[in-house]
């Protein structure tokens, strides 16, 4: 049985088709990453928003806010995507549901924008902070940045003794028939 998720914010058939087909995987990845972020965010309660594991750590709320604001900056400043004014990126109501809704509502038009980009656009160079990088490099940096904060929040869930949703495969809390995690040398040797 294949892995299934309890919730999907952006279904596969909702992801637009790229005009330059070799770049479809970028759209599919961004939609998938948005879904994974949603699954983690939805695991928190409103009462958790101000929780932090250490006084020097960000709170759950600060990480959710940062995700929305930093995605806006990456897409708007570095990828020159049309983005809403930064002042309206955060949800009016600061609860988990509103953060999740806002994440998806910002991701959908980005997918349309990315679908319309050509190969030349993806390989074009842009300023990224104090260096110059290709847009495709900036995009992957965004994905990695998102994965970093999603993982940070999964650690928070574990510290709160909450179930950790599956992102790439089984967790201690989520598995399925046919799951084959690579936790042994024998599993790692498959395909060699």
Q: Chunked in runs of 10, what are the mean pLDDT values of the chain (192 residues)? A: 72 96 96 95 98 97 98 96 96 97 98 98 96 97 96 96 82 72 82 78
d(CA 75, CA 175): 34
| pLDDT on residue 159 | 97
| pLDDT on residue 179 | 73
- The domain ranges of the chain are 15-169+181-189
| pLDDT on residue 1 | 47
Which pair of tokens denotes residue 148?
Answer: 């970093």
Q: In degrees to the nearest 10, what's the CA dihedral of 54, 98, 165, 151? A: -40
Contacts of 97 (CB under 8 A, 6+ apart): none
pTM, to two decimals? 0.90
Fold of domain 15-169+181-189? 1.20.120
Query: Would the CA dihedral through 179, 182, 188, 192 be positive or negative?
Result: positive
Q: Identify the CA nearest to 98 among candidates 108, 110, 106.
A: 106
């Amino acid at each position: 049985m294949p892995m299934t998720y309890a919730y999907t914010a952006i279904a596969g058939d909702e992801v637009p088709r790229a005009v330059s087909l070799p770049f479809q995987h970028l759209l599919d990845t961004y939609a998938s990453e948005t879904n994974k972020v949603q699954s983690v965010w939805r695991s928190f309660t409103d009462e958790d928003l101000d929780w932090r594991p250490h006084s020097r750590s960000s709170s759950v709320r600060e990480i959710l806010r940062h995700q929305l604001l930093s995605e806006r900056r990456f897409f708007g400043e570095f990828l020159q995507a049309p983005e809403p004014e930064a002042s309206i990126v955060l949800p009016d109501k600061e609860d988990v549901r509103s953060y999740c809704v806002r994440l998806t509502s910002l991701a959908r038009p980005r997918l349309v924008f990315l679908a319309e980009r050509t190969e030349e656009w993806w390989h074009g160079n842009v300023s990224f902070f104090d260096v110059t990088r290709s847009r495709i490099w900036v995009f992957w940096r965004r994905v990695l940045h998102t994965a970093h904060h999603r993982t940070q929040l999964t650690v928070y869930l574990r510290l709160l003794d909450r179930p950790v949703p599956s992102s790439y495969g089984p967790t201690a809390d989520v598995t399925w028939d046919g799951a084959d995690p690579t936790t042994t040398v024998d599993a790692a040797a498959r395909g060699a």
